[in-house]
Amino acid sequence: MSVIRAVAQGCGHHLPSRVVENAEFAETLDTTDEWIRSRTGIERRHFAADGELTSDLAIKAAKAALANAGMDASELDAIVLATSTPDETFPSTATKVQHALGMGGGFAFDIQAVCAGFVFALANANALVLSGQAKCVMVIGAETFSRIMDWTDRGTCVLFGDGAGALILRAEDGTGTAQDRGILSTDLNSDGAHHDILYVDGGVSSTQSTGVLRMEGKEVFRHAVSKLAETGHTALSRAGLTGDDIDWLVPHQANLRIIQSTAKKIDLPMEKVILTVQDHGNTSAASIPLALSSGVASGQIKTGDLLLMEAIGGGLAWGAAALRW
Ligand code: UT7
């Protein structure tokens, strides 16, 4: 049976030039490199410079993805950009990227599902392709979480970083089997009952201010360990696949211990996991496309490999996608 698939054409990423090592936090906070490394796997992260915006990172990642795909921006029909740290309340950061790329047409919009944002954006881009509304879609995850940190809270400010990653999908004919290249399945979930364990304490209609991130880390950790394995299994089974079929797990990079426990639950050795948490920290919606682009650039991810991506974040919102590269 012939079907349409949203197939990866190329990807790219961009990280701000400023690198902050764990030791830098120990100068102002009651923390140590040892604590951060052993509890999270994080060794360093990148922070945007003053005046460097989420759109600046997104535009550079988008240009890198176009170069990697050998494509021109005029070939794009749409941009779906996942972020919780937009340049402005409106318009969308995606429209700034659209203009900067010189797309000349099409449409662009933002998606907000915090750390699960890239998976949600991917699922929406896939739906645009499958419904025929767009043939070629750029999916971007871009964040400047350094702008919403409470620098006195050692339980959160050491965890996050800034960056952006982009992936280009284009409609191609498939056979309808799990051997097809492209997005094979997605699974999206949210549960607003868990609002209080991860949120930003400000916003347009509540405080007319930006606010800072608040998290009950242990509680989020507990949900992450169970929900990530569950959504991964659901996405795989929707595509008629099992854990044995995975070539690479490309997980949200929040905490090495969460990634290890998810890999264990789906019986996957850590050699099959793309890891960037040590160098990027948690970059929210940017973390999966950053890991994906790093894995492709390093030659680990090859054409035909089956990738499972999964993420969880504020909402709570969580989900997974199976994609054959
Ligand atoms: O991307 C969105 C999803 N977010 C996540 O997935 C994050 C999930 N949560 C986590 O990754 C972990 O829960 C954390 C890394 C945030 C915390 O690790 P933990 O092992 O759960 O530690 P904890 O919160 O239970 O804290 C243990 C101790 C506490 O001290 P007491 O109460 O035992 O005296 C904390 O105050 O560690 C203390 N602590 C720190 N100590 C040194 C918390 N942060 C730090 C720190 N340095 N930076």
- Provide the mean pLDDT of the chain: 97
Pairwise CA distance, residues 69 & 75, whole Å: 11
CATH code (residue 267): 3.40.47.10
Shared domain check, 234 and 155: no
- Best of 20, 39, 85, 223 for a ligand 1 pocket test (most atoms within 8 Å of beta carbon): 39
> Is residue 195 a contact partner of residue 315, using CB atoms and an 8 Å limit?
yes
Q: Tens digits of per-residue pLDDT, 166-220?
A: 999 999 999 999 999 999 999 999 999 999 999 999 999 999 999 999 999 999 9
Q: Tens digits of per-residue pLDDT, 207-255?
A: 999 999 999 999 999 999 999 999 999 999 999 999 999 999 999 999 9
Q: Which of 46, 233, 252, 280 is catalytic?
A: 252
Shared domain check, 194 and 158: no
Q: Is the peptide bond before 249 cis (omega within 30 degrees of 0)?
A: no
Shared domain check, 107 and 71: yes
pLDDT recorded at residue 307: 98
Q: Is the peptide bond before 251 cis (omega within 30 degrees of 0)?
A: no
| Closest C-alpha to ligand 1, atom 39 | 155
pLDDT at 1 over 90: no
Shared domain check, 304 and 189: yes
Q: Which of 115, 126, 157, 233 is catalytic?
A: 115
Residue with tokens 């960037």: 276
Shared domain check, 150 and 13: yes
| Ligand 1 centre distance from Cα of residue 225 (Å) | 15
Nearest-CA neighbor of 85 among 59, 109, 114, 108?
114
Shared domain check, 210 and 256: yes
Answer yes or no: 115 catalytic.
yes
Residue with tokens 């284009």: 170
Shared domain check, 227 and 285: yes
Instruction: Indicate the residue among 174, 204, 234 that finishes a domain.
Output: 174
pLDDT recorded at residue 77: 98
Could you tell me the pLDDT band of residue 104, with boundaries at 50, 70 and 90? confident
Q: What is the DSSP string of 86-125?
A: -SSSSS-HHHHHHHHHT--SSEEEEE--GGGHHHHHHHHH
Answer yes or no: 280 catalytic.
no
Instruction: Indicate the residue among 139, 174, 209 that finishes a domain.
Output: 174
Q: What is the DSSP string of 188-235?
A: EEE-GGGGGGEEES--TTTTSS---EEE-HHHHHHHHHHHHHHHHHHH
Instruction: Indicate the residue among 174, 192, 223 that finishes a domain.
Output: 174
Shared domain check, 214 and 161: no
Shared domain check, 258 and 299: yes
Pairwise CA distance, residues 281 & 46, whole Å: 8
Shared domain check, 204 and 151: no
Q: What is the mean pLDDT of residues 35-51?
A: 98
pLDDT at 106 over 90: yes
Q: Tens digits of per-residue pLDDT, 279-311?
A: 999 999 999 999 999 999 999 999 999 999 999
Q: Report the atom number in ligand 1 closest to the C-alpha of 25.
A: 48
| Ligand 1 centre distance from Cα of residue 221 (Å) | 9
Domain that holds residue 50: 3-174
> Is residue 118 a contact partner of residue 139, using CB atoms and an 8 Å limit?
yes
Pairwise CA distance, residues 309 & 319, whole Å: 8
Q: Tens digits of per-residue pLDDT, 114-136?
A: 999 999 999 999 999 999 999 99
| Ligand 1 centre distance from Cα of residue 203 (Å) | 25
Pocket, ligand 1, Cβ cutoff 6 A: 31, 35-36, 39-40, 115, 154-155, 158, 217-218, 220-221, 224, 254-255, 258, 282, 312-313
Q: How many domains does the chain have?
A: 2
pLDDT recorded at residue 140: 99
Token pair for 88: 């402005």
Shared domain check, 143 and 229: no
Answer yes or no: 126 catalytic.
no
Shared domain check, 269 and 219: yes
Pairwise CA distance, residues 247 & 55, whole Å: 32
| Ligand 1 centre distance from Cα of residue 112 (Å) | 25
